[in-house]
Amino acid sequence: MATPIPRSSGVLLAVTSLPSRFGVGDLGPAARAWVEALSAAKQTWWQMLPVGPFGAGDSPYAAYSTFAGETLLISPEDLVADGLLGPTDLPTRSFSDGVADYDGARPVREALLRKAWAYFKSGSAPRLRAEVEKFVKDDAAWLDDWALYAAIKESRSGEPWTAWPEALRVRKPAAVERAKKELASSIDEHRFRQFLWFRQWTALRKHAAARGVKLLGDMPIFVAGDSCEAWSATDVFLFDADRRSTVVAGVPPDYFAKEGQLWGNPLYDWDALRRTGYDWWIRRAKHSARLFDLTRIDHFRAFQDAWYIPAGAKTAKEGKWVPGPRAPFFDALRQSMGGLPFLAEDLGIITDSVRDLREKVGLPGMRVLQFAFDGDPKNPFLPENYDPNTAVYTGTHDNDTTTGWWAALPDAERHPVRLYLSFDGRDVAWRFILLAWSSVASLAIAPLQDILILGSEARMNTPGLAKGNWRWRFTAAHPLKERLEGLRSVTEESGRSSR
């Protein structure tokens, strides 16, 4: 069985949503201040979105790597503290408050990272030299592939690996060795950037642990088609001899999407993985446990059955359900890791067999209050239908904020919510927090936007929208201290404070 989660609570907030004068939130001073604010509010968990290198549309769920960290999150202030930049190196450009400006921030931060690398090569911060060498050696199993992939991608102006010359695309040894020689300096720089990321991450995690705050991560079950792992991992994905996907991931048609959803991610060759004892997945899971105290696995249902869509299909309707690795996979993980520090995202089309698998392996599932009020007393999202091994959310990163959701809800659909909560509709987000925190679910989580009672302008992601997502940030203008004081009271009254 998985280790039970003690009765506790936390806040969902992307790292990029933190305040910063450099365009997007990062792992530096604002992250430490946020940890301290959570601790003061008696929160046990800081739940984040994925922190790997952001892919298409700045999406953390389309990362270029499942092992590497997003270097946009490296704190310039902490580079100064480490002697890798001087105070005068920090840019004076001003960015808009409240918006994660990826396009504006990336060239600014890239320039700082190049300068930090130049300083390091010239002898700055000599005390870090041994640490860098140790990191490069200890993490070579994933780092070498990532640094090579990143260097090639950079040399080809960001072109996806599927468009690289054939010899590189299929990783012919001679072509790979030639790239390593030609791009040696760039490869070393990408290794160094990952060292910086992991150094700052480790410091933040220690800062959080010392204050009783745990980190809850997020792992998409599938990797992006344009990712280091899709390019470098052999015998992991269902590719043909030309390293092209034979089938891709998605979900079938449903009420919300008449054509289904064609995600396009490569699918796993579970038979090949089984023959290795699930080695690649075990390394991935252990890597996540290195970063987080608990990890949410997105699209858990694919471990039971996944929707396989033929490569080249126009819509997801052409797919079919294919069995996943099921319980033996989790048995292998548990044996190797000594436990299962995971939370199952079991939303969407969930069958009895998916529920049985989650219960058999002992993982807590998710319940979202915005899905609870359809008039069915057996609705699994209603609090009276929870079992304690559950994480309840007011909403997720894919939902509108609860205030925005309520504003858009037709009056007929508002009626059952009013009846259930016996209220007039004011401050619905806070009423949802009270409902979640008072439930039997062992874990209660609310996005910061709901704690701040913000509307649709603060929505983080709209599924199906290719651009404009992941941009919200909180600012000094938001009543953070007042709201977190209220959350502290709710947490203490509901018995969720671990301190």
Active centre residues (catalytic): 298, 345, 398
Nearest to 497 by CA among 47, 37, 39: 39
The answer to whether 238 and 245 have CB atoms below 8 angstroms apart is yes
Nearest to 316 by CA among 261, 267, 265, 264: 261
Strands 294-298 and 342-344: parallel
The 3-state secondary structure of the chain, one letter per residue = CCCCCCCEEEEECCHHHCCCCCCCCCCCHHHHHHHHHHHHCCCCEEECCCCCCCCHHHCHHHCCCCCCCCHHHCCHHHHHHCCCCCHHHCCCCCCCCCECCHHHHHHHHHHHHHHHHHHHHCCCCHHHHHHHHHHHHHCHHHHHHHHHHHHHHHHCCCCCHHHCCHHHHCCCHHHHHHHHHHCHHHHHHHHHHHHHHHHHHHHHHHHHHHCCCEEEEEEECCCCCCCHHHHHCCCCECECCCCCECEEEEECCCCCCCCCEEEEEECECHHHHHHCCCHHHHHHHHHHHHHCCEEEEECHHHHCEEEEEECCCCCHHHCEEEECCHHHHHHHHHHHHCCCCEEECCCCCCCHHHHHHHHHHCCCEEEEHHHCCCCCCCCCCCHHHCCCCEEEECCCCCCCCHHHHHHHCCHHHHHHHHHHHCCCCCCHHHHHHHHHHHCCCCEEEEEHHHHCCCCHHHCCCCCCCCCCCCCECCCCCCCHHHHHHHHHHHHHHCCCCCC
The answer to whether 155 and 187 have CB atoms below 8 angstroms apart is no
Residues 6+ apart with CB under 8 A from 177: none
What sign does the dihedral 76-77-83-86 (CA atoms) show? Answer: positive
Residues 6+ apart with CB under 8 A from 423: 431
Q: Virtual CA dihedral for 402, 405, 406, 407, nearest 10 degrees? A: 120
d(Cα 473, Cα 177) in Å, to the nearest integer?
43
Name the CA radius of gyration of the chain, rounded. 23
